[in-house]
Structure 1
Amino acid sequence: MARSAAVSTVVATALAAGLLAATSSAASSTAAPDAGEVRVHDIQGTTRLSPLAGQQVADVPGIVTGVRAYGSKGFWIQDPKADGDRATSEGVFVYTGANPTVKTGDAVRVSGTVTEYVPGGAGSGNQSLTQITKPTVTVESSGNELPAPVTINAKSVPSAYAPAGDPADGNSVNKLPLRPRSYALDLYESLEGMNVRVGSSRVVGASDPYNELWVTVKPHENTTRRGGARYGSYEAQNTGRLQIQQLAPVSEQPFPKADVGDVLTGVTEGPLDFNQFGGYTLTARSLGKVVGKGLERERTRPQRERELAVATYNVENLDPGDPQAKFDALAQAVVTNLASPDILALEEIQDNNGAKNDGTVAADQTLTKFTDAIAAAGGPRYAWRSVDPENNKDGGEPGGNIRQVFLYNPERVSFTDRDGGDATTATDVVRRGKRAALTHSPGRIDPANAAWTNSRKPLAGEFTFRGRTVFVVANHFASKGGDESLTSHHQPPSRSSEVQRVKQAEAVNAFARKVRAVERNADVVVLGDINDFEFSPATRALEAGGALRAGIKSLPRAERYSYVYQGNSQVLDQILVSPGVGRFAYDSVHINAEFSAQNSDHDPQIVRFKP
């Protein structure tokens, strides 16, 4: 799920070249003004699309409220003479494509073309940003007082997130009249381009490598125990979230480091932008100060003598070319924060030369380096089992050949090896005496199933703990790539990637049911990066028929998350267990997702039970 620097660079380049601009001629509920002076609110109109899109405008007056000399270069103007209509924004972005020559506080008149720019392109489903392009700018005076900022706070942001899209317009909200008193997205759209302010606000998304963080202006909205904003359903979007960037280049003003639960104190003020990687964003002309609250990385308790501890951890594209410091930090987390689980399913283990796309698929060097680091950190000398994928058949970074791997502590657990499992050969369930057994261990589940196209195939293994067989299935389901954002102009947004994950979940559920059909009380553990929420159709498909139950649902709601995305603390990583497992203790161990300094962007999960 992490956003790559390469993608960011490509988008910034495209922005500068104007390659992603899209002009919409769709009608708005606001009619074009009569002949005469055009003002900013005439351009913005009362819907998301400008009634003047595609048209030339001349001598639009405004005060410059912010200047951006990087990324999408340009400046914002705001008309100090508001029209009194809450639905019409008084601010607009002027796209220059080169370093602007105006300064904040300049009174200007701008001529140019009104366009609707869609960050990420029309296929992304993103809303558009109304802007003036190919501008001619006349500076009339300098040093003017800026229009007073609009304060965004808990009282002003509605509790409802967005209206339902118009079925006659493909479920789009683009042409619907804005209702800023009723819907949060309508409020933010009505302030697009305007000078806005937030007061002291809690950080709900840590500072990232792109110099962004997320705050909430609603301190009591779906709070987690550690200070985040939990995403607990498709109707709980957390309306108070707002992304914060700064207008000053980091070379001039370093961006603050903040963890979830910290507080951005004082006043943060600047134009309200809309971008591809977060939607509505306060581009701060003045940025408050981060006050740390000392969030600590969690440590789970050690397993007891008769407890089997099974964990999952996405180690984010680990390969031998990564710095030793990354291996050491991940290893320390396994030993210290996860208390050296008996079985550890890893996701995103890359092959021996990482993203070098030369046909290499073996990952023994990656795993040797990692298990050595764990031992050096004071952990057990883990053994491992895996199945090498076919080259470039499992998705992920091209050439990286990510796969799932079992690490296990041979001092406490034994692995039952049954030969024959490879990238294309399916393991099956048979009866051996009175017990279920795998035909291949380790083996892949139904690898020819179209559900796994360009995606990781589940890895199944048969373990023995204190004389009891435990079946473990490690997964890394298809990503959410292609899904529309919460701020999409389609409401509800399209979640097209769910289709494949549901099919994957059905295949894993069928395998778990097959094990239980042979041995009703068999202990089955299904775990990994499921890439979906505990309330999602994919999770329901995994649990179908009572074959499995999602362990994270045993936690209090305020602790159900493993990932933080755009200020929403949410579930992606899961462990599910069969009814035969009986009582269990579950823990989502928060060591990464809430922190600006991360060894992975996922939090590991662990379950302990007595087989």
Structure 2
Amino acid sequence: MPSKKSARLAALTVAAVCSAASTVALSAPAHAETVAIHDIQGTTRLSPYAGQAVTGVAGIVTGVRTYGSSRGFWIQDPNPDADPATSEGVFVFTSSTPKVAVGDSVTVTGTVSEFVPGGASTGNQTVTEITKPTVTVVSSGNAVPAATVVNAKSVPAAYTPAGDTAASNSVNGLTLRPGKYALDYYESLEGMNVQVADARVVTATDPYTELWVTVKPRENTSSRGGALYGSYTSQNTGRLQIQSLGATADFPVANVGDSLTGVTAGPLDYNQFGGYTLVANRLGTLKSGGLERETTQKQKKGELAVATYNVENLDPSDATFEEHASAIVNNLKSPDIVSLEEIQDNNGATNDGTVAADVTVGKLIDAIVAAGGPKYDWRSIDPTNNTDGGEPGGNIRQVFLFNPERVSFTDRAGGDASTAVGVTKVRGKAQLTASPGRIDPADAAWASSRKPLVGEFVFRGRTVFVIANHFNSKGGDQGLTAQYQPVVRSSETQRHQQATLVNAFVKGILDTQKNADVIALGDINDFEFSGTAQLLEGDGELWSAIKSLPKSERYTYDYQGNQQVLDQILVSPSIRRGCDFEYDSVHINSEFHDQISDHDPQVLRFEP
């Protein structure tokens, strides 16, 4: 699954998916000829006419895109063939505002192209298009071909065939089997007029004016109306992205669990950020599902509450301090220790060498006090300038907040951006050589990525070791609808290295003190079932406590219609064996259109 927000920052509009792309050049028939749309589309993902000029391609205009860098229109043949594998629709790329209207009967002469949204390096599938077109309007006001109904019965349960091993696992050359595989089914409708009805929203409306619905209301449903991503081999085939050909102001502002009642219809497109997309010229009516933000329980006197919260590039110029403070105080009930991820330096993205974050953290602490919370103290280590990834100039890092009225921090000098923290034994107990400290900051595993922050805390006389993490993102991974199946998750390599180092450090603590209380938490950027999580857990040194929740509640993030786990709190055997811990994924952000972060915070309560 590709990187969440990092890939989207380059997009100026949802329509700008053609700004960075490539075409696939294929051998084709030697001469131009008059062909039907289904002949151009063919029975595979690649047109047999790719690269060739075609003339007199007839169809009815079903949708017109007048904005962005992918301007053009869709046409559909009202006289389909009998082959379910061949699409009857195609996109005509004009580059400038088209001079046609929905309902126009047209003929198109141009060149068939296989366009790769985002460029070939993304691994995305291609969109069959007619480019450099000459368009003749034959008549206007014609009936648009009836929309193909996409629903739970029409979409197969199997997601995709395996790619051709002789073609680097690409599915491009495989004959489409739309009755067996979901991706083949969607591809067989590429460019056609399709519709969904009474579809539940499974990813909220985002800043790019898009949302996701499911046409399979019973498929891996979460406790609050989303669709869970539970494994690499069990995909949610009913997910479909919704965009609109209408005005941005008219697009529904939806949360997870809401519904688009009635019919949503329009051409089926494929784009860089999500794959198959219904680009609606008719939108259903938004019906609220009444979703509300969650609140966790307050910790008891003898319980230590530890939380992790990615505050999404927080810097002093942001307007979200009061909202983050309210979330920490009211929704998280003022945890004793909070690991914050993505705290930026004092001037945010200004790239002038500033690395200190005391202004950022101080502003948040003051906002927490104003919201009725405790006067938190804090610890962190400033990174070396522009070495830890994230937004250039921002110098994101992890920060510990702690309530000094409930817990104390053991300060031990020596920790800095480049010095590796170690573990020693003092009077039979494990002790950090520096607190706070960083784990192996010079190791290549942390190149352009955040280094783990380690600290010693004391609660009611018991030492608790806390490791705050923010592993490298999923940037560069192929999307779930990529032409390569199974998809390549290249970003895992670095996370596996990072997880191995963190596990080794935890093992060093436990080898020194078998019953030590150790917590490794943060934005792991990977799933609870992933290889990253398995390496972190090791041979039982750690255990991801989110697995104590029912499966329907295991998610911290919502991406492209999949609710998934990215944020985790892992605990050592002494905490897990006690069986007196409580875990809560507090859903206050990921399901909502007005989120202040794209992550849901996590809280662990236990008695050390």
TM-score by length of 2: 0.97
The residue that corresponds to 1:7 in the other structure is 10
Over 3 Å counting, the alpha-carbon distance change for 1:526 and 1:14 in structure 2 is closer
* 1:33 and 1:42 in contact (8 A); partners too: no
The residue that corresponds to 1:390 in the other structure is 384
The residue that corresponds to 1:148 in the other structure is 146
Over 3 Å counting, the alpha-carbon distance change for 1:418 and 1:112 in structure 2 is same
Give CA-to-partner distance per residue, 1:8-40, whole Å, 9 cap, x none.
128966736xx623133067xxxx699853010
Over 3 Å counting, the alpha-carbon distance change for 1:318 and 1:26 in structure 2 is farther
* 1:418 and 1:442 in contact (8 A); partners too: yes
Indicate whether 1:306 and 2:310 are aligned: no
Which aligned runs of 4 or more in structure 1 are off by greater than 4 angstroms?
3-6, 10-14, 32-36
RMSD, aligned CA: 1.4
Report sequence identity in percent. 66
The residue that corresponds to 1:70 in the other structure is 67
Over 3 Å counting, the alpha-carbon distance change for 1:339 and 1:14 in structure 2 is closer
* 1:213 and 1:244 in contact (8 A); partners too: yes
The residue that corresponds to 1:292 in the other structure is 288
Deviation at 1:249, TM superposition (A): 2.6
2:250 pairs with one of 251, 254, 257 = 254
**Secondary structure at the counterpart of residue 100 of structure 2:** coil
1:41 pairs with one of 38, 41, 44 = 38
1:558 pairs with one of 548, 552, 564 = 552
The residue that corresponds to 2:24 in the other structure is 23
Over 3 Å counting, the alpha-carbon distance change for 1:47 and 1:287 in structure 2 is same
Matched to 2:141, the amino acid is: G
Alignment of 1:487-498 (within 5 A): 487-498=481-492
Whole-Å separation in 2 of the counterparts to 1:143 and 1:529: 54
The residue that corresponds to 1:273 in the other structure is 269
* 2:17 and 2:271 in contact (8 A); partners too: no
Matched to 2:602, the amino acid is: Q
The residue that corresponds to 1:546 in the other structure is 540
The residue that corresponds to 1:184 in the other structure is 182
Whole-Å separation in 1 of the counterparts to 2:272 and 2:33: 35
Whole-Å separation in 2 of the counterparts to 1:352 and 1:502: 31
Whole-Å separation in 1 of the counterparts to 2:276 and 2:30: 27
Whole-Å separation in 1 of the counterparts to 2:605 and 2:18: 50
Give CA-to-partner distance per residue, 1:16-72, whole Å, 9 cap, x none.
6xx623133067xxxx69985301011100000010000000110000000000121
Whole-Å separation in 2 of the counterparts to 1:10 and 1:242: 19
Matched to 2:384, the amino acid is: E
Alignment of 1:467-478 (within 5 A): 467-478=461-472
Whole-Å separation in 1 of the counterparts to 2:14 and 2:180: 33
Over 3 Å counting, the alpha-carbon distance change for 1:38 and 1:534 in structure 2 is same
Whole-Å separation in 2 of the counterparts to 1:296 and 1:501: 34
Deviation at 1:289, TM superposition (A): 0.7
Deviation at 1:6, TM superposition (A): 4.6
The residue that corresponds to 1:479 in the other structure is 473
* 1:459 and 1:473 in contact (8 A); partners too: yes
Matched to 1:375, the amino acid is: V
Matched to 1:272, the amino acid is: L
* 1:78 and 1:91 in contact (8 A); partners too: yes
**Secondary structure at the counterpart of residue 196 of structure 1:** strand
Matched to 1:280, the amino acid is: Y
Over 3 Å counting, the alpha-carbon distance change for 1:5 and 1:164 in structure 2 is closer
Over 3 Å counting, the alpha-carbon distance change for 1:151 and 1:14 in structure 2 is closer
Whole-Å separation in 2 of the counterparts to 1:21 and 1:468: 59
Whole-Å separation in 1 of the counterparts to 2:377 and 2:497: 32
Give CA-to-partner distance per residue, 1:457-483, whole Å, 9 cap, x none.
000000000000000000000000000
Matched to 2:100, the amino acid is: V
* 1:314 and 1:600 in contact (8 A); partners too: yes
**Secondary structure at the counterpart of residue 347 of structure 1:** strand
Matched to 1:390, the amino acid is: T
Deviation at 1:254, TM superposition (A): 1.8
The residue that corresponds to 1:600 in the other structure is 597
Deviation at 1:580, TM superposition (A): 1.2
The residue that corresponds to 1:588 in the other structure is 585
Whole-Å separation in 2 of the counterparts to 1:485 and 1:321: 33
* 2:21 and 2:119 in contact (8 A); partners too: yes
The residue that corresponds to 1:499 in the other structure is 493
**Secondary structure at the counterpart of residue 22 of structure 2:** coil
Over 3 Å counting, the alpha-carbon distance change for 1:129 and 1:213 in structure 2 is same
Greater mean alpha carbon deviation, residues 420-429 or residues 578-587: 578-587
Whole-Å separation in 1 of the counterparts to 2:514 and 2:378: 28
Whole-Å separation in 2 of the counterparts to 1:602 and 1:291: 25
The residue that corresponds to 2:356 in the other structure is 362
Matched to 1:409, the amino acid is: N
Whole-Å separation in 1 of the counterparts to 2:595 and 2:179: 38
Whole-Å separation in 2 of the counterparts to 1:117 and 1:525: 47
Over 3 Å counting, the alpha-carbon distance change for 1:355 and 1:36 in structure 2 is closer
Give CA-to-partner distance per residue, 1:494-553, whole Å, 9 cap, x none.
000001001100000001100000000000000000000000000000011110000011
1:452 pairs with one of 443, 446, 454 = 446
Give CA-to-partner distance per residue, 1:173-200, whole Å, 9 cap, x none.
0000000000000000000000001010
Whole-Å separation in 1 of the counterparts to 2:470 and 2:32: 59
Whole-Å separation in 1 of the counterparts to 2:30 and 2:230: 44
* 1:202 and 1:264 in contact (8 A); partners too: yes
Give CA-to-partner distance per residue, 1:272-312, whole Å, 9 cap, x none.
00000110000001000110011010000000000000000
Over 3 Å counting, the alpha-carbon distance change for 1:441 and 1:347 in structure 2 is same
Indicate whether 1:114 and 2:131 are aligned: no
* 1:24 and 1:49 in contact (8 A); partners too: no
* 2:33 and 2:53 in contact (8 A); partners too: no
Whole-Å separation in 2 of the counterparts to 1:115 and 1:378: 60
The residue that corresponds to 2:573 in the other structure is 579
**Secondary structure at the counterpart of residue 458 of structure 2:** strand
Deviation at 1:4, TM superposition (A): 6.8
Whole-Å separation in 1 of the counterparts to 2:419 and 2:21: 44
Deviation at 1:129, TM superposition (A): 0.4
**Secondary structure at the counterpart of residue 425 of structure 2:** strand
* 1:26 and 1:49 in contact (8 A); partners too: no
Matched to 2:387, the amino acid is: K
Matched to 1:311, the amino acid is: A
Indicate whether 1:102 and 2:100 are aligned: yes
**Which structure 2 residue ranges, 5 or more long, are not aligned?**
none
Matched to 1:301, the amino acid is: Q
TM-score by length of 1: 0.97
1:342 pairs with one of 336, 342, 352 = 336
Whole-Å separation in 2 of the counterparts to 1:13 and 1:129: 15
**Secondary structure at the counterpart of residue 313 of structure 2:** strand
**Which structure 1 residue ranges, 5 or more long, are not aligned?**
none
Give CA-to-partner distance per residue, 1:95-129, whole Å, 9 cap, x none.
00011010000000001110000001000000010
